[in-house]
Structure 1
Amino acid sequence: MNKMKAPFQVPAHLHATAPVEYRQGERDNVRLMVLDPLTGQRKHTNFHDIMNIFQAGDVLVLNQSRTIPSSLHATGTRGDVEVRLARKIDEHRFEVLLLGTTYEEGDQIYFQNGFFATVEGNGNEYPLQVVNFKLSGVSLMEFIYEYGSPIYYEYINDPWPLNKYQTVYSSTPGSIEMTSAGRAFTWGMLSSLVKKGVHLCYVTLHTSLSYYGNNKWPTPSNHPELYSIPRETVDTINDAKAEGRKVIAVGTTVVRALESAVIEGHLTQQNSVLTDLYINGNYSLKITDALLTGFHEPEASHLDLLKAFIDEAVLLEAYNEALKQEYLWHEFGDMNLIITGAS
């Protein structure tokens, strides 16, 4: 795997443990580091400054996937277990991460109300396993919503409600974790951008589980995610590319969806297609010109993706500066805009 040769460390006090609304006002009150990939210049400002950076004619692409409550607690013949959903396979089966006790093929796991699931074997890669729930479709999703909760990683101290793990524009349930790059946007900001002449369009990419615990991460080239791109988005982006206008992705999930749907240099319509595309510094971007994202840990494949936008050494220098400036990391943290000509 193509990882950074000089990894950095994120100190504990820079892990964002709570939504910004609980710290200082509204969800848009986060910091923003603007990074020019050509010059390496950096500007430290507030997220609201995006209103001055984006220009009329720019296309802002948002992921409208909505986070589902992906952590379920259960018991079984081998003891208590946390069932973390990793990826939906079909209407009654999920790849999952089982935490707390080792379960084997054929074992049953018992949830509330007598509901149970059966372990069917290994998942796409270790340590994921496949479980067959004895409900399916809408009934299964209703159960998950009634008894599940968001996934709380070790840096989260309080059980924040599911609505704090959503963007304001999310509409299609399916993501295991929040598509957090767009979390800071409010409807007011989006409305103002439209009035300015910025075009908004949407894709849907349902995120899979991004961390397996014990310092184990998914293999970037073997991490399937389901995505869709509607015709309206295709037309908007292809027109912009033909006219030399910027296409700005809100999040690495948007980059992955857009770049997965390119055929002969043009974006194509897609409906519920799996992508395994791994984007790193060796990949030549075909659709996306700029990226709004959070700050990523050195082991995460999301950080590899950033190297398709900017030289690795320049990125690492900027990240070290962000650490010195005490930017906050993770889904409730601060933001980074990689765009030319704005620093």
Structure 2
Amino acid sequence: MEAAAFDFFLPSELNASHPPERRGIRRDHVRMMVLDKKTGSVIHDQFFRLADYLKPGDFVVMNNSRTVPAILNAGLYRDTKRIQPEVEIRLARRRNGETWDVLIVTDDVRLGDILQFSPDLSAVIIDMKEDSPLKTILFSKKGTDLFNCIYSLGEPVRYEYIHNKWGLDYYQTVFASHPGSVEMPSAGRAFSWELLFNLQKKGIELDFIQLHTGLSYLLDDELETSPSDNYEEYHLSEKTIEKIRKTKASGGRVIAVGTTVVRALESAGITGVLNGVTNLYINQNFKLKMVDGIITGLHEPKASHLDMLTAFVPQNLLWNAYEEAIDQRYLWHEFGDMNLII
């Protein structure tokens, strides 16, 4: 069963449109469905009790990539003439300190066109591919200066189930520190500093990597892209790899917080590259080498993330658990409830 076949009816009221804090609960008090990957048995709890399901010697790896406000507006210029007063630009993936792949929401765009974001920031379109709606642009600033402009001008990516313009802070994990994700690495959102401290008190080791998430939706329902077309930048240390080896050697479990962490760790396990770009596609045929369990959100029908989850748990058990989550009125998406698979 691939993601396209993993279809189900998700009632619209189960789309979490408000952050937990705006629903009157702490971020770590969202609900948690604990799924036994061998038996398929399910326990319903709350996320702040995560430590009850982990053991001393387990190793939890999180993604500390920080969300950038990836929706920008710019005037479109061609041959010094303004063609459009305002077009929307969605950052999709950073190529280097001054070059990004972006989605430009207009059909009238050509190589060499200029995007004027502000008096201090512009970009030129330097590449256009026939098989992709994404364009490559070269900004007039780079590094920290560019990020400062993006943070002052942009807004976070929001999808149709989000009815309010929640500020960027709602799209950050408490430990986010390395800017680069255009969509929040949302599996880590439910963590609080108190919960992290409680995990450490129990003897559970914590560590951080970065995988900067790309743009998941290109505003075209008819465009079919493979997860292997999604290239994402990741960074991890030799120290993290060594901790994974020691954890496994001592009988502990490596628990990834989010599909982003799984992708980064398994990519490094295959290639040996600790700082690179990955388009790894994980499904039920993939033999997990680095990761034993996952903390993740609840994924929408046909989402490619569901394919990855079948590498942890047989698809029929995952399907049954999702049916129960719907029956139990769990909430979906980045502001929703959590799923621990161990």
TM bin, normalised by shorter chain, reads: over 0.9
* Residues 107-142 of structure 1: per-residue CA shift (max 9 Å, x gap): 222212263222223259522111222222222211
Please give the residue correspondences for 1:107-126 in structure 2 after superposition, counting only pairs within 5 Å: 107-113=113-119, 115-122=121-128, 126=132
Do the aligned partners of residues 320 and 214 (structure 1) sit closer, same or farther apart at CA in structure 2, a change above 3 Å counting? Answer: farther
Structure 2 partner of 1:65: 65
Structure 1 partner of 2:274: 270
Do the aligned partners of residues 138 and 114 (structure 1) sit closer, same or farther apart at CA in structure 2, a change above 3 Å counting? Answer: closer
- Match of 1:201, as an amino acid? D
Among residues 218, 221, 227, which one is paired with 2:234 in the alignment? Answer: 227
| C-alpha displacement of 1:32 | 0.6
1:40 matches 2:40: yes
Structure 2 partner of 1:254: 261
Among residues 297, 316, 340, which one is paired with 1:313 in the alignment? Answer: 316
Please give the residue correspondences for 1:278-297 in structure 2 after superposition, counting only pairs within 5 Å: 278-297=281-300
The answer to whether the 8 Å contact 1:122/1:129 transfers is yes
Please give the residue correspondences for 1:128-139 in structure 2 after superposition, counting only pairs within 5 Å: 128-139=134-145
- Match of 1:20, as an amino acid? P
Structure 2 partner of 1:14: 14
Counterpart Cα distance in 2 of 1:107 and 1:281 = 44
Counterpart Cα distance in 2 of 1:115 and 1:170 = 25
What SS does structure 2 have at the residue aligned with 1:72? strand
| C-alpha displacement of 1:224 | 1.0
Structure 2 partner of 1:300: 303
| C-alpha displacement of 1:217 | 6.2
Q: Which runs of 4+ in 1 moved over 4 A?
A: none
The answer to whether the 8 Å contact 1:78/1:103 transfers is no
1:92 matches 2:95: no
Do the aligned partners of residues 145 and 309 (structure 1) sit closer, same or farther apart at CA in structure 2, a change above 3 Å counting? Answer: same
Counterpart Cα distance in 1 of 2:321 and 2:5 = 15
Do the aligned partners of residues 123 and 338 (structure 1) sit closer, same or farther apart at CA in structure 2, a change above 3 Å counting? Answer: farther
Do the aligned partners of residues 278 and 316 (structure 1) sit closer, same or farther apart at CA in structure 2, a change above 3 Å counting? Answer: same
Structure 2 partner of 1:154: 160
Aligned identity (percent) is 46
Counterpart Cα distance in 2 of 1:137 and 1:291 = 33
Structure 2 partner of 1:180: 186
Counterpart Cα distance in 2 of 1:217 and 1:211 = 10
What SS does structure 1 have at the residue aligned with 2:119? helix
* Residues 244-280 of structure 1: per-residue CA shift (max 9 Å, x gap): 211100000010011111159xxx5713x11111111
Do the aligned partners of residues 257 and 124 (structure 1) sit closer, same or farther apart at CA in structure 2, a change above 3 Å counting? Answer: farther
Segment drifting more, 208-217 vs 230-239: 208-217
- Match of 1:270, as an amino acid? L
Do the aligned partners of residues 280 and 50 (structure 1) sit closer, same or farther apart at CA in structure 2, a change above 3 Å counting? Answer: same
What SS does structure 2 have at the residue aligned with 1:51? helix
Matched residue count: 335
Counterpart Cα distance in 1 of 2:194 and 2:129 = 42
Superposition TM-score, scaled by structure 2 size: 0.92
* Residues 84-125 of structure 1: per-residue CA shift (max 9 Å, x gap): 100011222110112255422222222122632222232595
What SS does structure 2 have at the residue aligned with 1:281? coil
Do the aligned partners of residues 85 and 124 (structure 1) sit closer, same or farther apart at CA in structure 2, a change above 3 Å counting? Answer: farther
Segment drifting more, 83-92 vs 129-138: 129-138
Counterpart Cα distance in 1 of 2:9 and 2:263 = 26
| C-alpha displacement of 1:179 | 0.7
Specify every segment of 5 or more residues in structure 2 that has no aligned partner in the other structure, as ranges. Answer: 77-82
What SS does structure 1 have at the residue aligned with 2:246? helix
Counterpart Cα distance in 1 of 2:152 and 2:49 = 39
Structure 2 partner of 1:194: 200
- Match of 1:148, as an amino acid? G
The answer to whether the 8 Å contact 2:4/2:303 transfers is no
What SS does structure 2 have at the residue aligned with 1:131? strand
Structure 1 partner of 2:331: 328
Counterpart Cα distance in 2 of 1:114 and 1:59 = 45
Segment drifting more, 194-203 vs 208-217: 208-217
Do the aligned partners of residues 91 and 6 (structure 1) sit closer, same or farther apart at CA in structure 2, a change above 3 Å counting? Answer: closer
The answer to whether the 8 Å contact 1:80/1:100 transfers is no
Counterpart Cα distance in 2 of 1:201 and 1:38 = 26
Counterpart Cα distance in 2 of 1:269 and 1:107 = 36
Counterpart Cα distance in 2 of 1:325 and 1:64 = 31
What SS does structure 2 have at the residue aligned with 1:190? helix
Counterpart Cα distance in 2 of 1:203 and 1:250 = 10
